[in-house]
Structure 1
Amino acid sequence: MLADRSIRLFHLPFSFMLPQKVASERGYFREEGLAVDLVERDRRDVEVKYIPAAETLTGEYDVDLYPICKWESIRRTWTMGDGRIVANGTFASLPYTVFTRPESDVETPTDLADVPVGVNRRTGQEYTARKALEEHIPADEVDLVGCGMPTDRLQALYEGRVDAVTLIDPHSTLADHLGFRRLLEYDNHMGIVGGDAIDRDLLEAFLRAYGRAVEDINADPDAFRGTYLEMLEADAAVAPDLFDDVDVDAVREEITVPQYEVPEPVDREELDEHLAWMQDRGLIDESASIDDIVAPL
């Protein structure tokens, strides 16, 4: 076991990262010899995206580990030099869903050709959404527009500023209760990026603690409903008008805690394929090298 290694761990207050918070609160990191400082931002201070676009987490925020969408982890490590990827995975049975308004002419995913779809740019959603949409429409007809955080995307759809948006639970369930229609579901893929202080022993200790939290949640999901639903309650304070026309208790009752998975040490070959996909579409520089993106653990 490690001897009280101190790490600053960035936390995303979203549904797919619940095990990270549970591992911290239950002392699983501490039992692995990790003195974890969970770095969080006040949701009320976040206007567009939770992970800052112009600042490095491993630099300006002095973070040692941070979770982020797999494709954005590739872009961020290469273009910003913000650490290197140490792990990746699906993380949870929580698919993204593309929603449209009930009166929209968009009936199927193929109708989304040249239709603006609201995402949160620079979070990775633009890559996962693009990859999913390309299975139904030509790549040059994918039109993604930045609409911000989940409540911002819901507001944009509600006000008719876009014809479709991507969402993940618990906001997908809220969208159902607001009367929006589901068009398409696709998997959510995540990565974990580490700074210079992360070595193999520390990563393995982190993953063991994370795995214990996953086992706890999957064994008794209802025991974690309160923590899981805190995300929805926080957004009710940020965007109260979205909740005016729904039965919030009914939304809460319908939401279920998903099954979680443990991230795995980084799959270099898989990420190299994703890098090539991004380069083919001009989403990242042609000179980007997997050697500078993946940590040599």
Structure 2
Amino acid sequence: MPDNGKLRLFHLPFSFMLPQHVAGDRGYFADEGIEVEIVERDRESVDWKYIPAEETLTGDYDMDLYPICKWESLKRTWDMDDGRVVGAGTFADQPYTVYVRPESDVEEPSDLAGVPVGVNRRTGQEYTVIRALEEHVPPEAVILEHHGMPTDRLRALRDGEVKAVSLLEPQSTLAEHLGFRAVLRFENHMGIVAAEEVDAETLDAFMRAYARAVGAINDDPDAFREEYLAMLDADADVAPDLFEGVDREALLASIEVPTYEPPEPADRAELGAHLEWMKRRQLVDENADIDAIVGPAR
């Protein structure tokens, strides 16, 4: 436990992170004997990514635990010494989807060879997209372009600035209501990173509270629908043009709260295999050492 007795949790206001918010609001962390402070950046102040690219969360922002893409967790902890990876998982039955405009000649994943796909770089999602595309096209045919936040990517696709974009829910459903076509779906993989001060007992308590929130949501998803849709409401505030002409009532009615999964303790062997792939693709320093990246055995 940190010296001040309070666990500072960085929160991504994305649909797959809903259980962390629920565990805080419903007192599940407190029931496990840990006092938490959930830190979330305001959507209107974020124009690129929620996790700062040049500052450390465990140092500059004084966070104790933070979620991030599994592959970015490997890179960030090595390159920036920003904590150690202690957990990983898919977190939700909620895939990434690559969308194209309705008139596009891209009909199947193999047609994405040489086609720029819009992502938000330095968030980790680019690694997820690369891995998925490499199952259908040669590695040298994977082309990614930075187009920012989900609303920025949707706008870029709408305006013809890019031929395809990757999205998660609930922006995926918005894309479909805007008439875009899905051509590829693949799992979203996340990691949990902890500062050195977080001990095994505190981490176990965090995991139990998180799993309890997962169970509560899965047992009664409709009870959490309003919280789930909060991010879409925030998007409507910062990008109202994307919602023009969209039947908002029909849009909301078509969005379902997904089934969630709690994170699992970090698997050193599995993450080591991912690290080796990143090295082969020259996505991380060739000297990166999995023993310096993954937290101590629990």
Question: How high is the TM-score relative to the length of structure 1?
Answer: 0.98
Provide the identity percentage: 64
| 1:109 maps to 2:114 | no
Equivalent residue, structure 2, for 1:252: 252
- Residue 77 of structure 1 aligns to a residue whose secondary structure is helix
Equivalent residue, structure 2, for 1:56: 56
Which amino acid in structure 2 is aligned with residue 224 of structure 1?
F
Equivalent residue, structure 2, for 1:224: 224
Which amino acid in structure 1 is aligned with residue 286 of structure 2?
E
Q: Matched residues in 1 for 2:67 and 2:159: separation?
A: 31
Please report how far the alpha carbon of residue 108 of structure 1 lies from its aligned counterpart in structure 2 after TM superposition.
Answer: 1.3
Please report how far the alpha carbon of residue 4 of structure 1 lies from its aligned counterpart in structure 2 after TM superposition.
Answer: 9.0
| 1:269 maps to 2:282 | no
Please report how far the alpha carbon of residue 122 of structure 1 lies from its aligned counterpart in structure 2 after TM superposition.
Answer: 1.1
Q: Is the 8 A contact 2:2 2:197 kept in 1?
A: no
Written as runs of structure 1 = structure 2, the 5 A alignment for 1:185-196 is 185-196=185-196
Equivalent residue, structure 2, for 1:150: 150
- Residue 98 of structure 2 aligns to a residue whose secondary structure is strand
Label 1:86 to 1:103 Cα distance change in 2 as closer, same or farther (>3 A): same
Q: Is the 8 A contact 1:69 1:190 kept in 2?
A: yes
Which amino acid in structure 2 is aligned with residue 241 of structure 1?
D
Q: Matched residues in 1 for 2:252 and 2:294: separation?
A: 39
Please report how far the alpha carbon of residue 5 of structure 1 lies from its aligned counterpart in structure 2 after TM superposition.
Answer: 3.4
Q: CA-to-partner distance for each residue in 1:34-90, whole Å, 9 max, x for gaps?
A: 110001101100011111101100011000000001000000000011000011111
Q: Matched residues in 2 for 1:110 and 1:73: separation?
A: 28
Q: Is the 8 A contact 2:118 2:166 kept in 1?
A: yes
Written as runs of structure 1 = structure 2, the 5 A alignment for 1:23-38 is 23-38=23-38
Q: Matched residues in 2 for 1:209 and 1:4: separation?
A: 20
Please report how far the alpha carbon of residue 2 of structure 1 lies from its aligned counterpart in structure 2 after TM superposition.
Answer: 12
Q: Is the 8 A contact 1:87 1:265 kept in 2?
A: yes
Q: Matched residues in 1 for 2:282 and 2:157: separation?
A: 28
Which amino acid in structure 2 is aligned with residue 200 of structure 1?
A
Written as runs of structure 1 = structure 2, the 5 A alignment for 1:32-111 is 32-111=32-111
Structure 2 gap segments, 5+ residues each: none
Equivalent residue, structure 2, for 1:182: 182
Question: How high is the TM-score relative to the length of structure 2?
Answer: 0.98
Q: CA-to-partner distance for each residue in 1:122-177, whole Å, 9 max, x for gaps?
A: 11110010000001100011001111111111011011000000001100000000
- Residue 212 of structure 2 aligns to a residue whose secondary structure is helix
Q: Matched residues in 1 for 2:208 and 2:97: separation?
A: 30
Q: Is the 8 A contact 2:112 2:137 kept in 1?
A: yes
Equivalent residue, structure 1, for 2:141: 141
Q: Matched residues in 1 for 2:261 and 2:138: separation?
A: 32
Q: Matched residues in 2 for 1:148 and 1:5: separation?
A: 36
Which amino acid in structure 2 is aligned with residue 261 of structure 1?
E
Q: Is the 8 A contact 2:8 2:37 kept in 1?
A: yes
Equivalent residue, structure 1, for 2:279: 279
Please report how far the alpha carbon of residue 114 of structure 1 lies from its aligned counterpart in structure 2 after TM superposition.
Answer: 1.1
C-alpha root-mean-square deviation of aligned residues, in Å?
1.4
Query: Which 4+ runs in 1 deviate beyond 3 A?
Result: 1-5
Q: Is the 8 A contact 1:4 1:34 kept in 2?
A: no
- Residue 213 of structure 1 aligns to a residue whose secondary structure is helix
Q: Matched residues in 2 for 1:48 and 1:99: separation?
A: 20
